[in-house]
Structure 1
Amino acid sequence: MIAAATPPTAAAPGPVLRDIHLPAEPSWWPPAPGWWLLAVLALLVFAGLAWVWQRRCRVRQRQRRILGELDNLVRRHREDGDRAALLGGLHQLLRRVAREQDAAAVHLRGDAWRHVLARVPVDAATRDSLHRLEQLIYQPPRSGDENDLVEAARRWLRLAVKPSTWKRKKPSSEPADA
C-alpha cells in the first residue's frame, strides 16, 4: 500500500526563521542634498531679483527727482521770465548728472564736453540742441528756443540717469611715457 502523505508538522527540522523587518521610513528632515541645492538656488534667484528691483526703483526715483528739478526750472522761468536762470540751471543740471559717470565733466569745455554729452545715446537733434546751450548761456537773451532746449535736456536726462545707457569712455589719446 501506498502510504498517505503526511502534512508537515511544526517541528520541522532546521533553524527557526523570523519574519523580515523593513527599515523605518526615511525622515523628511534633513532633506536630501539635491533639495538643499535647489533651496540655495531659489534663494540666489530671489536675492538677485530683489537687487534688480531695488536698483530699478532707485533709478526711477532718481529720474523723477532730476526731471522734477527740470520742471521746477521751467516753472520758475514761466513765472519770472529769466532766460539766463533757465539756461544756467539746465547747464548745471546736465553737468551734475554727467559728473556721476565722469568726474571731470564739471570742468570740461568745448569738444570734451560734447564728447561727454555724446556718450548718452540720443538723436543728433538733441545733441545739437545741447551743444548750442553752452553758447546760448553767454549770448544776449532772445526767446523762442527755450522749449527746444528744455525738451532736449529732458530727453538726455531721462537716458543719462541710467548708468547702463552710457557708452564707455574712450581711452585718452595721450602718448604713454616710455
Structure 2
Amino acid sequence: MQASELVLRDVHVPAAPSLWPPAPGWWLMAAALMLVVAVAWWIRRRRSRRLRAWSELFEEACTGAPSSQAGAASELLRRAARRIDSSADRLQGEAWLRFLDGTGKRRDFSEGPGRLLLEGGYRRELPAKQWDAARELARQRYLALMAKRK
C-alpha cells in the first residue's frame, strides 16, 4: 500500500465506566454515613435506657400509702433539682413550687394539683384523684429535671 491509499477510520469513544465497583470516595462517604448513623443510634439508645431507669426509680420510690408517696416524690424532685441548681433543694413553700413550675406558662405546681407536694407527706390521707394527678405531674417534672444538663 502506498501512503495515498491509507484507509482512515473513525475515532473510537471508550466505553462508559461501570457503576460497580464505586470509586474510593464513595466507599469513604458510605463508611462516614454508617458511622454517623451508628453514633446517633447509640446516643438515642443510651438516652432511652437512662430515661427508663429514672422512670423505674420513681415508680419504685413512690409505692405504699399516698402520703408516703408524696414524701418520696418530693425527695426525688429535690434531688433532681440539685442537678440544675445547687441551692434549689433548699427552697421552701411557694418558691419551691415556682421552681417546679419552671419557666413555662403553666402553673401546675403553684396553682394546680402539684400543691400536694408541699404538705402531702405530712397528711394522714390524700384524695386519690388529686394525688394521682399530682403524682403524674411530679413524675413528668422529675424526668424533665433528670434529662436536663447544667
TM-score by length of 2: 0.64
Amino acid at match of 2:140: R
**2:84 alignment partner, SS class:** coil
Provide the C-alpha distance between the structure 1 equivalents of 2:88 and 2:53, rounded to a whole number of angstroms: 23
Counterpart of 2:57 (choices 65, 71, 74) is: 65
Matched, 1:111 2:94: yes
Between the aligned partners of 1:47 and 1:123, the Cα distance in structure 2 is 36
| Distance of 1:159 and 1:87 partners within structure 2 | 14
- Give the match for residue 131 of structure 2: 149
Distance 1:122 1:160 in 2: 18
CA–CA separation in structure 1 for the residues paired with 2:119 and 2:126: 15
The within-5 A match list for 1:25-174 is 32-70=24-62, 72=63, 76-77=64-65, 83=67, 85-119=68-102, 124-125=107-108, 127=110, 128-137=112-121, 141-145=123-127, 147-163=129-145
Cα 1:98/1:154, change in 2 over 3 Å = farther
Q: Name the count of aligned residue pairs.
A: 136
* 1:60 Cα offset (Å): 1.7
What's the % identity of the aligned pairs?
A: 23
Unaligned stretches of 5+ residues in structure 1: 1-7, 14-27, 170-178
Distance (whole Å) between structure 2 residues aligned to residue 162 and residue 87 of structure 1: 18
122-131 vs 106-115, which deviates more? 122-131
Read off the aligned partner of 1:106 and give its amino acid letter: D
When the two structures are superposed, what TM-score results if normalisation uses the length of structure 1? Answer: 0.56
Structure 2, unpaired ranges of 5+: 4-19
User: Following TM superposition, by how much is the alpha carbon of 1:124 offset from its aligned partner in structure 2, in angstroms?
Assistant: 4.3
Asked if the contact 1:105–1:113 (Cα under 8 Å) also holds between the matched residues in 2, the reply is yes
State which structure, 1 or 2, has the greater radius of gyration over its C-alpha atoms.
Answer: 1
Distance of aligned partners of 1:163 and 1:49 in 2 relative to their CA distance in 1, 3 Å threshold = farther
**Counterpart of 1:54 in 2: which secondary structure?**
helix
Higher RCO, 1 vs 2 (CA within 8 Å, ≥6 residues apart): 2
Secondary structure (helix, strand or coil) at the match of 1:100 reads helix
CA contact (8 A) 2:69 2:121 kept: no
